[in-house]
Amino acid sequence: MKVLVWWSSRGTVGKSTGAAHTIGAIAFAKKRVAWIDADPEGSLNRWLERFLKKHPQLRPFISEETDGADYLVIDCPPGDNERARQALQWASLILIPTTVGPTERERFSHLLTTLSQHAPGKLTGLILNQFDPTANEIRRFKAEILQQPNCPPILAAWPHRQAWKTAWTEGKCVWETGWGHKPAAEEWKKFEQAAWQLLGQTGW
């Protein structure tokens, strides 16, 4: 069983959204996926309720029970805490979304330190979320953070905030037929392919 851990330095950066869409993608691929919502906010639970109402045919593939599951997706509480550290130890792949800003640089640096102490050598990927690639702040972030030797590779960049927000509130996935947000769907597929490569697979 592959364990995919979503973790971040703080809330509202796309961690639960990423975890939810990952579960949807795996279920659509007809693979069994278990999940743990370890974040006290409980956002993953709420999205899955809406998602399974919209796609009841996928219920056999999504469960809280890990027996027989091909994947386990864990939505960690943000920051450095005991629950997150335990999940990091289990991870086959750690996925870290982050926004870009002055305070985020400091938080993210601390996150990298925690990662190196408690999950050294674990496969890890970074997702830049809600950012403007032309802004000065992204250049500073790249110069100060992304050049660090222990910084994970960037798997994706998600600048399409409204598409993700709408998908979240309606229990949809951005790649669904007729969803109407082609750029967001393309960004998700790029992320999937990068995650597959890290896991040494060709698909979920």
What CATH number is attached to the domain comprising 74?
Answer: 3.40.50.300
**One digit per residue, pLDDT tens: the chain, 204 residues?**
999 999 998 888 889 989 999 999 999 999 999 999 999 999 999 999 999 999 999 999 999 999 999 999 999 999 999 999 999 999 999 999 988 777 777 788 888 888 888 898 899 998 888 766 666 767 777 777 777 777 888 888 877 667 777 777 788 888 775 445 677 788 888 899 999 998 998 888
Structure tokens at 104: 């985020």
pLDDT at 96 (0 to 100): 93
Residue 23 lies in a domain: yes
Instruction: Please check whether residue 21 lies inside any domain of the structure.
Output: yes
CB 188 within 8 A of CB 175: yes
Residue 159, domain member (yes or no): yes
Q: Is residue 156 one of the residues assigned to a domain?
A: yes
Closest by Cα among 109, 176, 119, 100 to 149: 109
What distances in angstroms separate CA 8 from CA 23, 50, 66, 77, 155, one per listed residue? 18, 24, 24, 8, 15
**Residue 204 belongs to a domain:** no
Whole domain around residue 94: which residue ranges? Answer: 2-199
Confidence at residue 132, expressed as pLDDT on a 0 to 100 scale:
67
Structure tokens at 168: 């979240």
Can you give the pLDDT at residue 135?
67
Among 79, 75, 95, 99, which residue's Cα sits nearest to residue 161? 99
107 lies in some domain: yes
In a domain, 44, yes or no: yes
What pLDDT shows up at residue 160? 66
For residues 161 and 145, give the distance between their C-alpha atoms in angstroms, rounded to a whole number: 23
Instruction: Quote the pLDDT of residue 108.
Output: 82
Into how many domains does the chain fold?
1
